[in-house]
Amino acid sequence: MAFAPGKVILFGEHAVVYGRPAIAVPVTQVGARVTVERGVDGVLIQAKDLGLSHTLGESPVDEALEPVASLVESTLEYLGVRCPPPLVITITSTIPIARGLGSGAAVSTALVRGLSEHFGRELGPEEVSVLVYEAEKFHHGTPSGIDNTVISYERPIYFVRGEFPQIFKVGKPFLLAIGDSGVKSPTKVVVGEVRRRWEREPSRYETLFDQIGRIAERAKEEMEEGNLERLGSLMDENQALLQDLGVSSPQLDGLVKVAREAGALGGKLSGAGRGGSVIALIEERTREAVTTAWERGGAQRVIATEVSS
Select 12 or 84, whichever has its Cβ closest to ligand MEV: 12
For residue 194, the minimal CB distance to ligand MEV (Å) is: 8
For residue 98, the minimal CB distance to ligand MEV (Å) is: 10
* In the complex, residue closest to ligand MEV by CB: 144
For residue 33, the minimal CB distance to ligand MEV (Å) is: 21
Per the omega criterion (within 30 degrees of 0), is the bond before 84 cis? no
**Ordered strands of the 266-270 beta sheet:** 266-270, 277-282, 174-180, 301-307
For residue 143, the minimal CB distance to ligand MEV (Å) is: 4
CA distance 45 to 238: 40
Q: Which is the catalytic residue, given 49, 147, 180, 253? A: 147
Select 139 or 287, whichever has its Cβ closest to ligand MEV: 139
What does each C-alpha distance from 259 to 13, 163, 176, 190, 287 come to in angstroms? 20, 34, 11, 24, 10
For residue 247, the minimal CB distance to ligand MEV (Å) is: 8
Select 43 or 160, whichever has its Cβ closest to ligand MEV: 160
Select 13 or 89, whichever has its Cβ closest to ligand MEV: 13
What 3 state SS string does the chain have? CEEEEEEEEEECCCHHHHCCCEEEEEEEEEEEEEEEEECCCCEEEEEHHHCEEEECCCCCCCHHHHHHHHHHHHHHHHCCCCCCCCEEEEEEECCCCCCCCCHHHHHHHHHHHHHHHHCCCCCCHHHHHHHHHHHHHHHHCCCCCHHHHHHHHCCCEEECCCCCCEECCCCCCEEEEEEECCCCCCHHHHHHHHHHHHHHCHHHHHHHHHHHHHHHHHHHHHHHHCCHHHHHHHHHHHHHHHHHHCCCCHHHHHHHHHHHHCCCCEEEEECCCCCCEEEEEECHHHHHHHHHHHHHCCCCEEEEEEECC
Does residue 147 carry a catalytic annotation?
yes
For residue 276, the minimal CB distance to ligand MEV (Å) is: 9
For residue 263, the minimal CB distance to ligand MEV (Å) is: 27
Select 188 or 301, whichever has its Cβ closest to ligand MEV: 188
Select 191 or 241, whichever has its Cβ closest to ligand MEV: 191
Which parts of this chain interact with ligand MEV (CB under 6 A)? 9, 13-14, 16-17, 100, 140, 143-144, 146-147, 187, 191, 271-272
Which is nearest to 216 in space by CA: 11, 7, 9, 19?
A: 11
Select 128 or 272, whichever has its Cβ closest to ligand MEV: 272
Q: Annotated catalytic sites, by residue?
A: 147
